[in-house]
Amino acid sequence: MFTTEIGKDLQKARHLLEQGELVAIPTETVYGLAANALDVHAVAKIYEAKNRPQFNPLIIHVADIEQLKSCVEEIPTDCIRLIQAFSPGPLTYLLKKKSIIPDITTAGSKYVAVRIPQHPLTLALLAQLNFPLAAPSANPSGYVSPVTAQHVLDGLHGKIPYILDGGNATVGLESTIVGFKDGEVVVHRLGGLSIEAIEDVLGKSVKLSITHDAPDTPGQLKSHYSTRKKLIVGDVEQLLKQYGDNKIGIISFQRSYNTNHPQMILSSKGDMAEAASRLFSVMREMDEMNIETILAELVPNEGIGKAINDRLMRASF
């Protein structure tokens, strides 16, 4: 057991990580639960603290392209273009790993998922460390990802010594994951960077390979991102007729519904980035309300709206 502390002390975070301990770190997407990616004992603590299945590999975080090169065998041309356009940022690259990356970090895979996060505190921390950080989202396995230091504390209190507080995650959705196969760019997880933005830079279409039943990216299990309350996705007007007598709460994109049930709007001005940045906080707040069921509507299925809808659908299974 630890007394979990929240603070902005970079040196404290650095020392703990150098000693093989866990530190939750802020990123622009969601908070990560970090450990030295090269230290098998430190990485094992991540799986334990999150109660994460050992078959689910971790994303590693690096300071810059030089450090990225020290972790992977080769970087395809398409990947270099994406790095130039979007890193640091909410894009993760699946690349053949070098042997310094231990098997436990990649759950036995020859590929490692790696990204350069866009957050000043975490970039400063990474620059001071001489190892990359393995960091999955800093929530107990299966629950909604944390976008504030308090969310991390709510889920991992007593299990980790320190949370580096970098304020609210600005993007609010996990990174988009891309791989490279036979000259094609393959999207493995929808996330904070839109497919359209990726295709614009590449000047070609990407392939979608988003599995819900595990094999390639085991973290894509259906139960991922679930609220504790039952969440139903659909036409809220219709659902209200069916569930109107129950204790319900409503999550909507832009409009409010004519009802006395509690409701939360993702973005009253219909701004997709704002909706994304609020989604996980809103889901967590609904979980704390005195309701039994959450009714949610999908957002327009374009840009990062696709990732928002993906998270809502997963939470509803």
Give the residue with the Cβ less far from ligand TXA, 29 or 252.
29
Give the residue with the Cβ less far from ligand TXA, 111 or 162.
111
Residue 182 backbone zone (phi > 0: left; psi -120 to 50: alpha; other: beta): left
**CB-based closest residue to Mg ion:** 137
Q: Largest Cα–Cα distance of the chain, in whole Å? A: 59
Residue 172: which of Mg ion, ligand TXA, none does it interact with, CB under 5 to 8 A by kind? Answer: none
> In the block, which residue shows the tokens 């490692």?
112
Q: Give me the sign of the Cα torsion angle 93, 211, 173, 299.
A: positive
CA distance linking residue 253 with residue 247, whole number of Å: 20
Give the residue with the Cβ less far from Mg ion, 137 or 170.
137
Minimum CB separation of residue 99 from ligand TXA in Å reads: 14
Residue 155: which of ligand TXA, Mg ion, none does it interact with, CB under 5 to 8 A by kind? Answer: none
Write out the DSSP string of 263-312. EEES-TT--HHHHHHHHHHHHHHHHHSS-SEEEE-PPPSSTTHHHHHHHH
Give the residue with the Cβ less far from Mg ion, 36 or 137.
137
Q: Pick the stretch among 38-46, 68-76, 130-138, 199-207 that binds Mg ion (CB under 5 A).
A: 130-138
Give yes or no for a contact between 187 and 205, defined as CB atoms under 8 angstroms apart. no
Sole binder of ligand TXA in the list 67, 170, 220, 227 (CB under 6 A): 220
Give yes or no for a contact between 59 and 218, defined as CB atoms under 8 angstroms apart. no
Give the residue with the Cβ less far from ligand TXA, 166 or 249.
166
Query: Total binding residues for ligand TXA by CB under 6 A?
Result: 28
Which residues, 98 to 157, sit near ligand TXA by CB under 6 A?
106, 109, 111-113, 117, 135-137
59 scored as a contact of ligand TXA (CB under 6 A): yes
Minimum CB separation of residue 295 from ligand TXA in Å reads: 26
Give the residue with the Cβ less far from ligand TXA, 113 or 286.
113
> In the block, which residue shows the tokens 């569930």?
243
Among residues 104, 83, 103, the alpha carbon closest in space to that of 93 is found at 83
87 scored as a contact of ligand TXA (CB under 6 A): no
Give yes or no for a contact between 15 and 162, defined as CB atoms under 8 angstroms apart. no
CA distance linking residue 51 with residue 45, whole number of Å: 10
Sole binder of ligand TXA in the list 13, 17, 24, 27 (CB under 6 A): 27
Which residues 6+ apart lie within 8 Å of 36 measured at CB?
Answer: 17, 18, 20, 42, 43, 129, 131, 133, 134
58 scored as a contact of ligand TXA (CB under 6 A): yes
Minimum CB separation of residue 240 from ligand TXA in Å reads: 33
Give the residue with the Cβ less far from Mg ion, 32 or 166.
32
Give yes or no for a contact between 100 and 70, defined as CB atoms under 8 angstroms apart. yes
Residues that bind ligand TXA (CB under 6 A): 27, 29-30, 32, 56-59, 92, 94, 106, 109, 111-113, 117, 135-137, 174-175, 177, 189, 216-220
Residues that bind Mg ion (CB under 5 A): 137
